[in-house]
Every structure is written in structure tokens, then in C-alpha cells.
Amino acid sequence: MKRKDDKESVPNELLERYEQFLSVGTPGYFDVDELEDLSEFYRIHGLQDKSSGVLDLGLKLHPDNSSLMLRQVALLVDSGRHAKALRVLETLPEKESLEVQLLKAEIYLHMKREAAGLGLLRALMHQEAFNRVDLLLDVSGILTRAGKLDLAKEVLWKALQEHPDDEDLLEELTYVLEELKDYQALVQIYDKLLDADPYRTDTWFNAGQAWFNLERYDKAIEAYDFAWALSEDDFLPLLQKGHALFQSEQYEKAAQMYETCISHIEPADYIHLLVGEAYEKAGLYEKAIVHFDLVLTMFPENIEAYAGLGLCYMELKEFKKSLGYLEKALLIDDSDAELWVYMAELMLQMERKDEAYVSYLRSLSIDPNQADVLAVMGNISYDNGNYDQALELYRAAQALDPELPGLPLFFALAYVKTGQTQLSKEYLDLARQKDSRADVLFEEMLGPSDTNPND
């Protein structure tokens, strides 16, 4: 059921007159429209008791007024008092009207009387209606609020067969499809809306979001460009375009797009962090460092900035600086599994394998579902000559991710070292299927003192 337009504000004179009436009991008269506006104003601002009080006064001034009684029913529904709402509906003179019947169906659904509610809605949809589109929108709205999104979608699809170009139906369907995360259908509806009106800024932006969720970043970027062209004072499309560029691994372009948003989107430290992360991914570490440093001037406890600086200095082989920043991040929060992985990677680069192993263990204690970490720990054990332990770790990694890159080659090497030649052959065959360089890598990693099982 469509309600009267929400009243986020009412005339000051009306509000002051009503508030004075409440405070000192000043006699006063309010017509039905004024009472509806006041009730809706209080409801919108979360003041349900005051909204209800307005309606109580209204029904004293205007006994049996259907509009006020319907608002009273809506408030009862909002507060979960469905049985009382149903009783009030039955007292209305217009209880057979379409509006009342729709509200009754909604109450039935709230009361889990689904057969009655859905049956009533079906019966109403088969009746002749003065405005069939409004009726179908009301029905879909009721179903949506009741959480029956698939049924709402079905109603709207059928409605569009009758009225294929109705924008209200198309808009309502976009909301339902968004809730259902049916992005493939959603982009088709956005295309239809944009065919009718290509100057709909919000629709271009929302289409970009749908394409983004489908991981079609090229289409998302195109949609964000149109949204930006139509509203150049709104930088959100550019921010989202930056995200799409980042996800499509165009890291330098993403960083440049994020830089465009600086000074236009708050908070500024968040935008600088995005720029830094994109430049770090692009391998432009000096540029990334500038932005991570800026984040720390604004927010000195930002863990992501410390981690970013640690990674950049690690890549630049400035290990002492890298260690300092990673330690600062861990001082702020030592329960971040990813930070311990960064620390382990740094320890490996500094050739401190035992400390790297311990850092990986700390990471696994926080998040055990890291197949890649288990595999690296297996490699450390292999390098240390602990081949049985390496195999245990590789098996644990395989249990989490059977398709982990490099794993068949690691098994082949470890099985050679433990004398299990047949198993080594089997895993080397698997490695060849995944990587044409498997034999070369196997020989390099095996070393001259060991025998290739295929010789």
C-alpha cells in the first residue's frame, strides 16, 4: 500500500501550535490533513508514541475518520501489534476497499498467515482495478516488505509483460533484483531504463555497481564515466571507477583516479590510503610511501599505513625500516593474521627462517585457513631438511586448497627426499600438467646430489 508522501518537516507554525497544545493544554483544532502531517513527521523521526498521540487526538476531533484510522493501523503494524491492527481494520466503513484489503493482506503475512495473505493478494490481482500498475506496485511492495522477494520479482515481471515501458515498475524491479543479488537481470533493466532516458545519472552509477558485482570491470568503468560526465560535482563515480581499475589490476591508473578524489571525498586519510595501496601494487613504492606517510600525519594509529610502509621498504630492500613499521603495526594490533604474514616474508628476505616460521605460526593461530602459508612453512621445513614435516604441511595445505599453485611440484620434491619414488613420479606428472616448466624447476630445486625419479 502506498502511503502519503513522507513528511520530514512540517510548517513551524503547525508544529509550535501542536507542541503548545501538548504542554499547556491550550484548546485547539487541527484538521485531518494537519494531523496526518504531524503524525507522519513524528513517525519519520522515530517518535512513535508522539505519532500515536496525534492520531488519538485526531480520532477524538474526527471520530471514525478512515484516513486517520488507516494511519493508526500502520503504526500498530510498525510496532508489531498485528492482531489489534486487524481488529481496527474490521471497524472501518470502507473495509472492502482496495486499500484496506491490501493492508489486511500485509498484516496476514506479518502474522505468518501466509495462505490467507497470499490468497488475498492473488484475488486482488485478478480484480479489475482503476490503475493496475499502482495495484501491482502495491502488491510487490507488500511482498518485498514480507521478505518474499522471489514472489515480488515474479509479480513485477508479469506486470512488465503488460506494461513493458512503465518506469515505476522498472524502478521497483531494480530494487528487488538488487536485494536478490540478481545482477545479470539487473543490468538488463538498467539498460532498458537508460534506453528510455540516457541522462539518468543515478541509473548509470547503479548500473556501474551491478557490472562491478558481476566482475565486468570494463562495463563498470564505462557506466561510471557516464555518471561522472552527467554530474561532475559528484566524485563518487570516480572513486568507484578507481575501485574497478584496481580490481582489474590497472593499479597505476587506479592510483591516479583515487588522486582525483583527494579534497573531494572524506575522510582524506582513507583516500590517501587507497592511493598508497594502488601505487604499492603498481610497484611504484616511492609514490606509495608519500601517501602512506600522509595518512599517518592525519591518523597516527592507522595500521594499514604502517603495513603499507613496511611492504614498500621491504620491496626496496630497506629491511630495517620495513621491520620498524611492521613492528609498529603489530604493537597496535597483534591479532591481524595478515600482518604476521608480512613479518614472516620480511624475515625470509632477511634470511631469518626460524623467525619467519614462528611468524607464520602466529598467523595460523589467528586464521588457520591459509593454504598458502602452510605451503610456505612446508618449504621452510624442506629447506631445513625436515622432509616428513614438509609433507605434513603440504598435506594440510592440500586439504584446504587442492588447486594451490606449485603444490604438486613441492610434493614431488619431498617424496624424492623421503625415498618414495613412485609418489614423486605421480606428483611430477601432475606438476607438468599445470606448468610446462615443471621439469626444469624440479631439477633446479632438487640439486645435483639427488636423483630424478624419471631418469
For the segment 367-373, the average pLDDT, to the nearest whole number, is: 97
Quick: pLDDT tens for 306-345. Answer: 999 999 999 999 999 999 999 999 999 999 999 999 999 9
On whether the CB atoms of residues 357 and 376 are closer than 8 A, the answer is no
pLDDT at 3 over 50: no
Contacts of 234 (CB under 8 A, 6+ apart): 201, 227, 228
Number of other CB atoms surrounding residue 84 within 10 Å: 14
pLDDT at 33 over 80: yes
Q: pLDDT band at 13, cuts 50/70/90?
A: confident
pLDDT on residue 411? 96
431 in a structural domain: no
pLDDT on residue 18? 85
Least confident of 32-36, 244-248, 393-397, 398-402: 32-36
Quick: pLDDT tens for 93-151. Answer: 777 788 888 888 988 998 889 899 999 999 988 876 557 888 999 999 999 999 999 99
368 vs 57 pLDDT, higher one: 368
420 in a structural domain: no
For the segment 36-53, the average pLDDT, to the nearest whole number, is: 87
On whether the CB atoms of residues 308 and 292 are closer than 8 A, the answer is yes
Quick: pLDDT tens for 143-157. Answer: 999 999 999 999 999
49 in a structural domain: yes
For the segment 37-55, the average pLDDT, to the nearest whole number, is: 87
Contacts of 16 (CB under 8 A, 6+ apart): none
82-85-87 Cα angle (round to 5): 115
**Grid coordinates given for 8:** 520530514
Boundaries of domain holding 24:
1-95
Strand (E) or helix (H) holding 81: none
198 vs 47 pLDDT, higher one: 198
Distance CA 322, CA 319 (A): 5
For the segment 3-11, the average pLDDT, to the nearest whole number, is: 52
3-class SS at 21?
helix
274 in a structural domain: no
pLDDT at 401 over 60: yes
pLDDT on residue 232? 84
Quick: pLDDT tens for 409-445. Answer: 999 999 999 999 999 999 999 999 988 898 898 998 8
137 in a structural domain: no
Q: pLDDT band at 246, cuts 50/70/90?
A: very high
Half-sphere exposure of 398 (CA within 13 A, CB side): 14
Q: DSSP labels for 38-77?
A: HHHHHHHTT-HHHHHHHHHHHHHHSTT-HHHHHHHHHHHH
Q: pLDDT band at 26, cuts 50/70/90?
A: low
pLDDT on residue 449? 58
Number of other CB atoms surrounding residue 395 within 10 Å: 13
64 in a structural domain: yes
53 in a structural domain: yes
For the segment 199-216, the average pLDDT, to the nearest whole number, is: 97
263 vs 376 pLDDT, higher one: 376
58 in a structural domain: yes
Distance CA 60, CA 389 (A): 83
pLDDT on residue 253? 98
pLDDT on residue 306? 98
- How far, CA to CA in Å, does 237 sit from each of 47, 67, 108, 227, 261? 36, 43, 42, 6, 10
CATH of the domain at 49: 1.25.40
pLDDT on residue 27? 64
How many structural domains comprise the chain?
1
240 vs 97 pLDDT, higher one: 240
What is the average pLDDT value for the chain, to the nearest integer? 91
For the segment 374-398, the average pLDDT, to the nearest whole number, is: 96
